[in-house]
Amino acid sequence: GYLMYCPKGPWLEWDDEGAARAFLRGAAEAAARLGAHTLKIEPEVREGRGGQKALLEELGFRKFRWDINHRSTMVVDLSRPEEDLLAGMKGKTRYNVRLSARKGVRVAEDGSPAAEEAFWRMHKETVERQEFWSRPYSYYRAALRAMREAGRAHLFFAEHEGDRLAAVLVYTFGHKCLYMLGATSREKRNLMPASLLQWEVMRWAKGRGLTHYDMWGIPTPEKRNEDHPLYGVYKFKAGFGGEVEDFVGSLDLPIERVRAGLWDKTEPTYYRIYQRLKGDVYY
Protein backbone atom coordinates (compact mmCIF):
# COMPACT_ATOMS: atom_id res chain seq x y z
CA GLY A 1 0.00 0.00 0.00
CA TYR A 2 0.94 3.64 0.08
CA LEU A 3 0.08 6.89 1.81
CA MET A 4 -1.00 10.30 0.52
CA TYR A 5 1.19 13.14 1.74
CA CYS A 6 0.48 16.87 1.61
CA PRO A 7 3.74 18.60 2.64
CA LYS A 8 3.25 21.93 4.43
CA GLY A 9 -0.45 21.85 3.72
CA PRO A 10 -3.25 21.94 2.96
CA TRP A 11 -3.48 25.71 2.87
CA LEU A 12 -7.00 26.48 4.00
CA GLU A 13 -8.98 29.28 5.58
CA TRP A 14 -8.84 27.53 8.93
CA ASP A 15 -11.11 30.11 10.56
CA ASP A 16 -13.91 28.83 8.28
CA GLU A 17 -14.56 25.58 10.12
CA GLY A 18 -17.22 24.39 7.68
CA ALA A 19 -14.97 24.79 4.66
CA ALA A 20 -12.00 23.18 6.42
CA ARG A 21 -14.14 20.24 7.53
CA ALA A 22 -15.54 19.73 4.02
CA PHE A 23 -12.09 19.86 2.42
CA LEU A 24 -10.53 17.39 4.84
CA ARG A 25 -13.41 14.96 4.53
CA GLY A 26 -13.13 15.21 0.75
CA ALA A 27 -9.39 14.57 0.96
CA ALA A 28 -9.99 11.49 3.10
CA GLU A 29 -12.57 10.19 0.62
CA ALA A 30 -10.13 10.75 -2.25
CA ALA A 31 -7.41 8.88 -0.35
CA ALA A 32 -9.78 5.96 0.17
CA ARG A 33 -10.76 5.87 -3.52
CA LEU A 34 -7.10 5.80 -4.51
CA GLY A 35 -6.31 2.97 -2.12
CA ALA A 36 -4.11 4.88 0.34
CA HIS A 37 -3.92 3.50 3.86
CA THR A 38 -2.95 6.86 5.43
CA LEU A 39 -3.42 10.56 4.71
CA LYS A 40 -0.53 12.67 6.05
CA ILE A 41 -0.83 16.46 6.32
CA GLU A 42 1.21 19.37 7.75
CA PRO A 43 -1.39 22.10 8.25
CA GLU A 44 -0.41 25.63 9.19
CA VAL A 45 -2.53 25.45 12.32
CA ARG A 46 -0.90 27.20 15.24
CA GLU A 47 -0.38 25.37 18.50
CA GLY A 48 -2.55 27.87 20.36
CA ARG A 49 -5.61 27.49 18.11
CA GLY A 50 -7.63 25.11 20.25
CA GLY A 51 -10.72 25.05 18.03
CA GLN A 52 -8.78 24.17 14.90
CA LYS A 53 -6.80 21.48 16.70
CA ALA A 54 -10.06 20.09 18.07
CA LEU A 55 -11.47 19.87 14.54
CA LEU A 56 -8.46 17.88 13.36
CA GLU A 57 -8.75 15.52 16.33
CA GLU A 58 -12.48 15.12 15.74
CA LEU A 59 -11.82 14.08 12.14
CA GLY A 60 -9.35 11.45 13.35
CA PHE A 61 -5.97 13.07 12.69
CA ARG A 62 -3.24 12.16 15.15
CA LYS A 63 0.32 13.38 15.71
CA PHE A 64 2.96 11.58 13.68
CA ARG A 65 6.01 10.35 15.61
CA TRP A 66 8.25 13.08 14.17
CA ASP A 67 7.98 16.26 12.14
CA ILE A 68 9.02 15.87 8.52
CA ASN A 69 9.21 19.55 7.62
CA HIS A 70 9.94 22.34 10.09
CA ARG A 71 7.13 22.83 12.61
CA SER A 72 8.28 26.33 13.60
CA THR A 73 9.06 29.29 11.40
CA MET A 74 9.58 33.05 11.38
CA VAL A 75 7.23 35.18 9.26
CA VAL A 76 7.72 38.84 8.32
CA ASP A 77 4.56 40.88 7.66
CA LEU A 78 5.23 42.61 4.34
CA SER A 79 2.00 44.61 4.39
CA ARG A 80 3.75 47.28 6.46
CA PRO A 81 5.59 50.22 4.82
CA GLU A 82 9.28 49.66 4.08
CA GLU A 83 10.36 52.16 6.72
CA ASP A 84 8.38 50.19 9.33
CA LEU A 85 9.96 46.93 8.18
CA LEU A 86 13.42 48.44 8.60
CA ALA A 87 12.49 49.91 11.97
CA GLY A 88 11.23 46.49 13.09
CA MET A 89 14.61 44.85 12.49
CA LYS A 90 17.11 44.38 15.26
CA GLY A 91 19.72 47.13 15.21
CA LYS A 92 22.59 44.88 14.13
CA THR A 93 20.60 43.46 11.22
CA ARG A 94 19.53 46.91 10.03
CA TYR A 95 23.17 48.07 10.27
CA ASN A 96 24.35 45.06 8.24
CA VAL A 97 21.76 45.69 5.52
CA ARG A 98 22.88 49.29 5.12
CA LEU A 99 26.57 48.41 5.35
CA SER A 100 26.26 45.84 2.59
CA ALA A 101 24.50 48.29 0.27
CA ARG A 102 27.03 51.02 1.07
CA LYS A 103 29.92 48.68 0.23
CA GLY A 104 28.52 48.07 -3.23
CA VAL A 105 26.81 44.69 -2.88
CA ARG A 106 23.96 44.34 -5.38
CA VAL A 107 21.10 41.85 -5.55
CA ALA A 108 19.73 40.44 -8.80
CA GLU A 109 17.41 37.63 -9.88
CA ASP A 110 18.88 35.07 -12.28
CA GLY A 111 16.91 32.02 -13.36
CA SER A 112 19.28 30.83 -16.06
CA PRO A 113 20.55 27.21 -16.15
CA ALA A 114 24.07 28.46 -15.39
CA ALA A 115 22.80 30.36 -12.36
CA GLU A 116 20.97 27.27 -11.12
CA GLU A 117 24.15 25.20 -11.31
CA ALA A 118 26.07 27.96 -9.52
CA PHE A 119 23.44 27.93 -6.79
CA TRP A 120 23.67 24.16 -6.26
CA ARG A 121 27.46 24.37 -6.03
CA MET A 122 27.24 27.17 -3.49
CA HIS A 123 24.54 25.37 -1.51
CA LYS A 124 26.59 22.16 -1.38
CA GLU A 125 29.61 24.10 -0.11
CA THR A 126 27.45 25.78 2.54
CA VAL A 127 25.95 22.49 3.74
CA GLU A 128 29.39 20.92 4.05
CA ARG A 129 30.93 23.96 5.75
CA GLN A 130 28.10 24.40 8.27
CA GLU A 131 27.47 20.65 8.65
CA PHE A 132 23.76 21.12 7.93
CA TRP A 133 21.44 18.24 7.09
CA SER A 134 20.36 18.23 3.44
CA ARG A 135 18.07 16.21 1.24
CA PRO A 136 19.59 14.65 -1.91
CA TYR A 137 19.97 17.16 -4.72
CA SER A 138 17.77 15.04 -6.98
CA TYR A 139 14.90 15.93 -4.62
CA TYR A 140 15.65 19.66 -4.68
CA ARG A 141 16.12 19.71 -8.44
CA ALA A 142 12.81 17.95 -9.05
CA ALA A 143 11.01 20.38 -6.74
CA LEU A 144 12.64 23.40 -8.39
CA ARG A 145 11.77 22.13 -11.85
CA ALA A 146 8.10 21.69 -10.89
CA MET A 147 7.89 25.08 -9.20
CA ARG A 148 9.65 26.83 -12.08
CA GLU A 149 7.23 25.30 -14.59
CA ALA A 150 4.42 26.71 -12.43
CA GLY A 151 6.09 30.14 -12.45
CA ARG A 152 6.65 30.09 -8.68
CA ALA A 153 10.43 29.60 -8.28
CA HIS A 154 12.93 32.47 -8.15
CA LEU A 155 16.70 32.52 -7.62
CA PHE A 156 18.44 35.64 -6.28
CA PHE A 157 22.14 36.37 -5.85
CA ALA A 158 24.04 38.98 -3.84
CA GLU A 159 27.04 40.05 -5.93
CA HIS A 160 30.07 42.27 -5.47
CA GLU A 161 32.45 43.16 -8.29
CA GLY A 162 31.49 40.04 -10.22
CA ASP A 163 31.67 37.67 -7.24
CA ARG A 164 28.53 35.84 -6.15
CA LEU A 165 28.58 35.96 -2.36
CA ALA A 166 25.15 34.67 -1.30
CA ALA A 167 22.05 33.18 -2.89
CA VAL A 168 18.47 32.30 -2.02
CA LEU A 169 15.80 30.18 -3.65
CA VAL A 170 12.26 31.35 -2.91
CA TYR A 171 8.88 29.95 -3.85
CA THR A 172 5.70 32.01 -4.10
CA PHE A 173 2.20 30.80 -3.44
CA GLY A 174 -0.93 32.80 -2.72
CA HIS A 175 0.01 35.74 -0.50
CA LYS A 176 3.28 34.19 0.67
CA CYS A 177 6.93 34.19 -0.38
CA LEU A 178 8.75 31.18 1.09
CA TYR A 179 12.51 31.31 1.66
CA MET A 180 13.24 27.71 0.72
CA LEU A 181 17.04 27.42 0.51
CA GLY A 182 20.00 29.69 1.05
CA ALA A 183 23.73 29.58 0.40
CA THR A 184 26.77 31.71 1.15
CA SER A 185 30.33 31.93 -0.09
CA ARG A 186 33.43 31.98 2.10
CA GLU A 187 34.55 35.14 0.31
CA LYS A 188 33.96 38.74 1.46
CA ARG A 189 31.78 37.75 4.40
CA ASN A 190 32.61 41.10 6.00
CA LEU A 191 30.33 42.70 3.39
CA MET A 192 27.28 41.05 5.03
CA PRO A 193 25.74 39.99 1.69
CA ALA A 194 23.21 37.59 3.23
CA SER A 195 21.54 40.40 5.20
CA LEU A 196 21.10 42.66 2.18
CA LEU A 197 19.96 39.70 0.08
CA GLN A 198 17.12 38.87 2.47
CA TRP A 199 16.01 42.49 2.61
CA GLU A 200 16.01 42.96 -1.16
CA VAL A 201 14.04 39.75 -1.68
CA MET A 202 11.49 40.99 0.86
CA ARG A 203 11.22 44.25 -1.08
CA TRP A 204 10.81 42.28 -4.32
CA ALA A 205 8.05 40.15 -2.80
CA LYS A 206 6.31 43.20 -1.36
CA GLY A 207 6.44 44.86 -4.79
CA ARG A 208 4.62 41.86 -6.25
CA GLY A 209 1.79 42.28 -3.76
CA LEU A 210 2.80 39.43 -1.47
CA THR A 211 2.05 40.09 2.19
CA HIS A 212 4.13 37.52 4.09
CA TYR A 213 7.76 36.42 3.91
CA ASP A 214 8.15 32.98 5.48
CA MET A 215 11.75 32.42 6.54
CA TRP A 216 11.11 28.65 6.67
CA GLY A 217 12.59 26.71 9.58
CA ILE A 218 13.70 27.56 13.11
CA PRO A 219 14.09 25.29 16.15
CA THR A 220 10.90 24.29 17.98
CA PRO A 221 10.16 26.06 21.31
CA GLU A 222 11.64 23.33 23.52
CA LYS A 223 14.89 23.37 21.52
CA ARG A 224 15.22 27.12 20.94
CA ASN A 225 18.48 27.56 22.84
CA GLU A 226 22.19 28.02 22.16
CA ASP A 227 22.83 24.26 22.21
CA HIS A 228 20.74 23.67 19.09
CA PRO A 229 22.78 23.38 15.84
CA LEU A 230 20.37 25.78 14.10
CA TYR A 231 20.46 28.42 16.83
CA GLY A 232 22.70 30.66 14.74
CA VAL A 233 20.26 30.39 11.83
CA TYR A 234 17.42 31.26 14.22
CA LYS A 235 19.24 34.36 15.49
CA PHE A 236 19.95 35.50 11.92
CA LYS A 237 16.29 35.13 10.93
CA ALA A 238 15.05 36.73 14.15
CA GLY A 239 17.04 39.84 13.27
CA PHE A 240 14.53 40.74 10.55
CA GLY A 241 11.73 41.34 13.04
CA GLY A 242 9.39 38.55 12.03
CA GLU A 243 6.85 36.78 14.19
CA VAL A 244 7.50 33.26 15.44
CA GLU A 245 4.84 30.77 14.37
CA ASP A 246 4.69 27.31 15.96
CA PHE A 247 2.43 24.85 14.14
CA VAL A 248 1.01 21.46 15.11
CA GLY A 249 3.41 19.56 12.82
CA SER A 250 2.88 16.34 10.88
CA LEU A 251 -0.47 14.60 11.38
CA ASP A 252 -1.73 11.23 10.14
CA LEU A 253 -5.27 10.11 9.38
CA PRO A 254 -5.66 6.30 9.15
CA ILE A 255 -7.81 5.52 6.11
CA GLU A 256 -7.65 1.72 6.10
CA ARG A 257 -6.98 0.94 9.73
CA VAL A 258 -5.38 -2.49 9.46
CA ARG A 259 -2.83 -1.44 6.86
CA ALA A 260 -2.34 1.95 8.52
CA GLY A 261 -1.65 0.26 11.85
CA LEU A 262 0.82 -2.14 10.27
CA TRP A 263 2.60 0.74 8.55
CA ASP A 264 2.76 2.73 11.78
CA LYS A 265 4.48 -0.16 13.56
CA THR A 266 6.96 -1.03 10.81
CA GLU A 267 7.69 2.42 9.34
CA PRO A 268 10.67 3.33 11.61
CA THR A 269 12.51 0.11 10.73
CA TYR A 270 11.64 0.42 7.04
CA TYR A 271 12.81 4.03 7.01
CA ARG A 272 16.21 3.17 8.50
CA ILE A 273 16.72 0.35 5.98
CA TYR A 274 15.61 2.59 3.11
CA GLN A 275 18.07 5.30 4.12
CA ARG A 276 20.91 2.81 4.48
CA LEU A 277 20.30 1.19 1.09
CA LYS A 278 19.25 4.22 -0.93
CA GLY A 279 21.09 7.02 0.83
CA ASP A 280 17.87 8.97 0.44
CA VAL A 281 14.64 9.93 2.21
CA TYR A 282 11.15 9.15 1.01
CA TYR A 283 9.28 12.07 2.56
At position 68, the amino acid (one-letter code) is I
> Contact at 8 Å (CB) between 181 and 127?
no
In the predicted model, what is the mean pLDDT of residues 90-116?
97
**CB neighbour list of residue 144: distance below 8 Å, 6 or more residues apart:** 116, 153, 169
pLDDT for the residue 282: 64
In the predicted model, what is the mean pLDDT of residues 40-67?
92
DSSP string over 190-206 = GG-HHHHHHHHHHHHHH
pLDDT for the residue 128: 93
Encode pLDDT of 265-279 as tens digits: 998 888 888 778 776
DSSP string over 3-49 = EEEETT-----TT-HHHHHHHHHHHHHHHHHTTEEEEEE----BTT-
- Nearest 5 degrees, angle CA 15-CA 222-CA 45? 10
Residues linked to residue 73 through DSSP beta bridges, in sequence order: 245
- Pairing outcome for strands 243-246 and 72-77: antiparallel
> Contact at 8 Å (CB) between 119 and 158?
no
What does the buried/exposed string (b/e) look like for 226-251 if buried means 16 or more CB atoms within 10 Å of the residue's CB? eeeebeebbebbbbbbbeebebbbbb
pLDDT for the residue 229: 86
Question: What CA dihedral angle connects 156, 159, 163 and 165, to 10 degrees?
Answer: -70
- From-to residues of CATH 3.40.630.30 in the chain: 2-70+248-278, 72-245
Q: Is the peptide bond before 10 cis (omega within 30 degrees of 0)?
A: yes
pLDDT for the residue 275: 76
Q: Give the dihedral sign, CA 43/47/52/57.
A: positive
- Please determine, looking at this structure, whether the domain spanning 2-70+248-278 carries the CATH number 3.40.630.30: yes
**CB neighbour list of residue 87: distance below 8 Å, 6 or more residues apart:** 94
Encode pLDDT of 216-251 as tens digits: 989 999 989 998 888 999 999 999 999 999 999 999
pLDDT-derived band of residue 76, with 50, 70 and 90 as boundaries? very high
Encode pLDDT of 168-211 as tens digits: 999 999 999 999 999 999 999 999 999 999 999 999 999 999 99
In angstroms, the CA 274 to CA 239 distance is 39
In angstroms, the CA 261 to CA 70 distance is 25
Residues linked to residue 157 through DSSP beta bridges, in sequence order: 108, 167
**CB neighbour list of residue 124: distance below 8 Å, 6 or more residues apart:** 137
Superfamily of domain 72-245, CATH level 4:
Gcn5-related N-acetyltransferase (GNAT) (3.40.630.30)
